[in-house]
Amino acid sequence: MMLLCESPFQNESVDHVLGLSKAAIAKGHDVDIYLMMDGVYGPVTSQSGEPFHMDSVSDSLKELIDLGVTISGCRVCMELRGVKEDMITEGVDIGGIFDLGEMVAEADVILSMTGAR
């Protein structure tokens, strides 16, 4: 289970979550990602790294969903940041803190990308 609280293109945290998720899936592990705080910007489909020859994070998250990764986001975090459900990648489940609690309870390992330094 990975907790992602960082926004795309801010630092390497998002890239680490994407890469680690793909590696874990390739080794047969189940992966859950919970988007919280600025992490809810990840699945916003209007973002584009194309001018800088970078992949869109929302497209990368959709690829993970297609590989079986469960991605959930915090509804309150989205509302506070003006992110609407129709703005995000299809397949991202929008819920609440209880979803995070369930993921944590079921996880063998938790990686937290919270931006704490």
pLDDT of residue 4: 96
Cα diameter, the chain: 41
- At 79 the pLDDT is 96
How far apart are alpha carbons 31 and 44 in whole angstroms? Answer: 20
Specify the pLDDT at position 117: 55
The DSSP code sequence of 11-50 is SSHHHHHHHHHHHHHHTT---EEEE-GGGGGTTBTT---G
Which tokens go with 101? Answer: 């609690």
Note down the domain range covering 66: 2-113
Q: Residue 115: which of 52, 36, 22 has the closest Cα? A: 36
CB atoms within 10 A of CB 80: 11
Query: Would you state the structure tokens that stand for residue 36, as one six-digit string?
Result: 């919280």
**Number of domains into which the chain is organized:** 1
Place of tokens 């047969």: 28
Query: CATH number, domain at 25?
Result: 3.40.1260.10
**pLDDT per residue as tens, the chain (117 positions):** 999 999 988 888 999 999 999 999 999 999 999 999 999 999 999 987 777 888 889 999 999 999 999 999 999 999 999 999 999 999 999 998 888 999 999 999 999 998 765
